[in-house]
Amino acid sequence: MFPSVRKNILWAFSLSGCAVILSLATQIAISYFYGTSAELDAYWSSLAIINLMVYPIHPFREALIPEIHRRSINDTPEEISTYFSKALTFILLVASFGLLLVMIFPQFFSYLVANSAAKQLPELVISQLKWFAPVIILLALSETLNSLLVSYHAVILQSVSRLMAAGSSLAIITSLAEIAGIKALVWSFVVAQFVTITISFFVIRKHGLIFSVKWPSGLGKAFFSVSAVLLINYSMSQIYSIYEKNIFSGFSEGLISAFQYSVSITNVLITILGLSLANILWPRFLDHAANKDIEKANHDVTVAIKAIFLGMGLVCTIIFCNADLITHLLFARGAFDVESTIKTSQALRATIFAAIPISILSILGKAFISFGAAKKMMLVGVTTAFFGLFILWLSQFFGLYRIAIIHWFLANVISSILAGILFFRLQGHQFSAYVKACWWILRLLVIFAVAILTAQSMAHTFFINASSVGAGIVSTITIVVTTLLIGRIFGIISNLKPILGFKISES
């Protein structure tokens, strides 16, 4: 029997909301102290290299969660701890190998993320990697332990750990940035990982999970089959991420940082709604899969995706129309100058709607893994990376950075469409279901497009400065009213009641 879904969702949203507010406050602090400087570009590029070394951990972590969940039903705590110890030892060995590579070949990795047109970026990246490299081990531990909380339905505590980590990171930056410079960012990241590890460790110990170093043998075919499929997925994602930094660094100094600020705002929506819903639903998907109850899984996915389209679509539309105002209010102070504001607001318009397909992919991904269809996620991941790389290449070919900054949105839209089709096939739906879904989405797109045009027209008609606070308020009210009116006409509003009521199937 599941704990109250409504209660879990509300708690998860509230805690995630607090965590992302702290994360956003962290980005504001970063913008104040570092602006869109070359050093900050080097920080994000170094972090991309660290993630490149840590990425093999993610598929093993994802494969471990259903294994621990399955064993927690029938196995003894000692047997579960033995399996966990073997898996975590294996993960730490992989992370140690990544650490060794970074320590031996820092120059090679720096040139992966720095375009030949970038002047001082490679040297700055090499300098920061010396401080950053040990984070590989800490990140492997924090990601694995925190993810395991899903196996024990402890998603609320998972949000608590993120909240504490975000708070500690902000405290380090604000207190040490003027003293330590860019090193304060590295230290804040390290402290955040320690906080996550500590909280997760005490939670899993409470559930009887104890770690001791054991040779990683006998992890099972299921563990490695899921891991192998996801490894291909994550490999493509990392190639994509590294290439993105390389292309951006070739256009202009600070573009990497400006894009990252816009991504941080987009991630607020993804974390609060997308990831929170995905984490709440994942234990349910695991139980639906164990009971072979495809109908209930389909109902849960449908309700969650409609909630994302409706709620997140409305918020994305408001942010899109007020990108200049939001960027100015959040970041325009300290080292964040006029050029930084222009670059970031352009990037925000290009990225904000990516929150919708990414959130949908997070939910469908959990459903695929739960039902043993991880290969479908591999196909989706490869598709995302392929189209993202292609769009970035086009931007370099034509010399247009505006093409580059929309790569994230376009690639995820294409892959979310593919994921939706694959999910329909997994559920055995008829062609009429595809038509019905397309018609629902098309009406929603028309609603938001009309809302954007109406809001921008109102702002330019009644305000000299369309990015003023007054124009932002009028724009927001116009979007909400227009969406409700046209949504009523199109019959979309009739879907709100079951979604707002969280009427997800009970097991």
Q: What is the DSSP string of 43-77?
A: HHHHHHHHHHHHTTHHHHHHHHHHHHHHHHHHS-H
CA distances from 432 to 194, 414, 437, 492 (A): 51, 21, 9, 19
Q: Are 417 and 385 part of one and the same domain?
A: yes
* pLDDT (0 to 100) of residue 184: 92
Q: Which residue has the higher pLDDT, 243 or 225?
A: 243
Q: Which domain holds residue 428?
A: 254-507
* pLDDT (0 to 100) of residue 392: 94
Examine residue 9 and state whether it is found in any structural domain, yes or no.
no
Dihedral, CA atoms, 13, 405, 444, 466, nearest 10 degrees? 90
End residue of a domain, out of 204, 226, 252: 252
Q: Which of 118-132, 348-362, 486-500 has the lowest mean pLDDT?
A: 486-500
End residue of a domain, out of 252, 286, 310: 252
Q: Are 300 and 202 part of one and the same domain?
A: no
Q: Are 351 and 497 part of one and the same domain?
A: yes
Examine residue 289 and state whether it is found in any structural domain, yes or no.
yes
pLDDT band at 500 (very low <50, low <70, confident <90, very high): very low
Q: Which of 12-21, 328-337, 374-383, 434-443 has the lowest mean pLDDT?
A: 12-21
* pLDDT (0 to 100) of residue 13: 64
**Model confidence at 3: pLDDT above 50:** no
Q: Are 326 and 227 part of one and the same domain?
A: no
Instruction: Give CA 185 to chain center in angstroms.
Output: 20
pLDDT band at 116 (very low <50, low <70, confident <90, very high): low
Examine residue 10 and state whether it is found in any structural domain, yes or no.
no
**Model confidence at 507: pLDDT above 50:** no
**Model confidence at 368: pLDDT above 50:** yes
Angle (CA) 277 279 280, round 5°: 65
152, 205 contact by CB (below 8 A): no
* pLDDT (0 to 100) of residue 497: 53
pLDDT band at 434 (very low <50, low <70, confident <90, very high): confident
* pLDDT (0 to 100) of residue 121: 83
Q: Which of 107-121, 277-291, 352-366 holds the top average pLDDT?
A: 352-366
Examine residue 15 and state whether it is found in any structural domain, yes or no.
no
* Token pair listed for 145: 């332990």
For range 311-326, the mean pLDDT: 93
**Model confidence at 480: pLDDT above 90:** yes
Angstrom distance (rounded) from CA 94 to CA 400: 39
Q: Are 172 and 263 part of one and the same domain?
A: no
Q: What is the mean pLDDT of the chain?
A: 84
Angstrom distance (rounded) from CA 446 to CA 360: 19
Question: pLDDT digit string (tens) for 38-96?
Answer: 889 989 989 889 988 888 887 888 788 778 877 877 778 888 888 888 888 988 998 99
153, 11 contact by CB (below 8 A): no
**Model confidence at 325: pLDDT above 80:** yes
pLDDT band at 5 (very low <50, low <70, confident <90, very high): low
CA-closest candidate to residue 189, choices 174, 175, 170 = 170
Backbone angles phi, psi at 292, to 5 degrees: 55, 40
Examine residue 407 and state whether it is found in any structural domain, yes or no.
yes
For range 418-425, the mean pLDDT: 90
Angle (CA) 408 411 412, round 5°: 80
Q: Are 321 and 197 part of one and the same domain?
A: no
For range 229-247, the mean pLDDT: 83
Examine residue 166 and state whether it is found in any structural domain, yes or no.
yes
For range 336-346, the mean pLDDT: 90
**Model confidence at 1: pLDDT above 70:** no
Q: Are 242 and 262 part of one and the same domain?
A: no
What type of residue is 251?
F
Angstrom distance (rounded) from CA 211 to CA 148: 13
* pLDDT (0 to 100) of residue 275: 79
pLDDT band at 504 (very low <50, low <70, confident <90, very high): very low
Q: Are 348 and 494 part of one and the same domain?
A: yes
Examine residue 24 and state whether it is found in any structural domain, yes or no.
no
Q: Are 479 and 357 part of one and the same domain?
A: yes
CA-closest candidate to residue 9, choices 147, 150, 156 = 156
Q: Which of 134-148, 224-238, 301-315 has the lowest mean pLDDT?
A: 224-238
Examine residue 30 and state whether it is found in any structural domain, yes or no.
no
pLDDT band at 348 (very low <50, low <70, confident <90, very high): very high
Q: Which residue has the higher pLDDT, 506 or 69?
A: 69
Q: Which residue has the higher pLDDT, 291 or 9?
A: 291
Q: Are 174 and 260 part of one and the same domain?
A: no
End residue of a domain, out of 252, 286, 303: 252
Dihedral, CA atoms, 423, 435, 300, 411, nearest 10 degrees? 50
- Total of domains in the chain: 2
Q: Are 139 and 280 part of one and the same domain?
A: no
Dihedral, CA atoms, 73, 139, 17, 21, nearest 10 degrees? 170
Q: Are 125 and 274 part of one and the same domain?
A: no
Q: Which of 37-51, 107-121, 286-300 holds the top average pLDDT?
A: 37-51
**Model confidence at 387: pLDDT above 90:** yes
Cβ atoms within 10 A of the Cβ of 221, count?
7
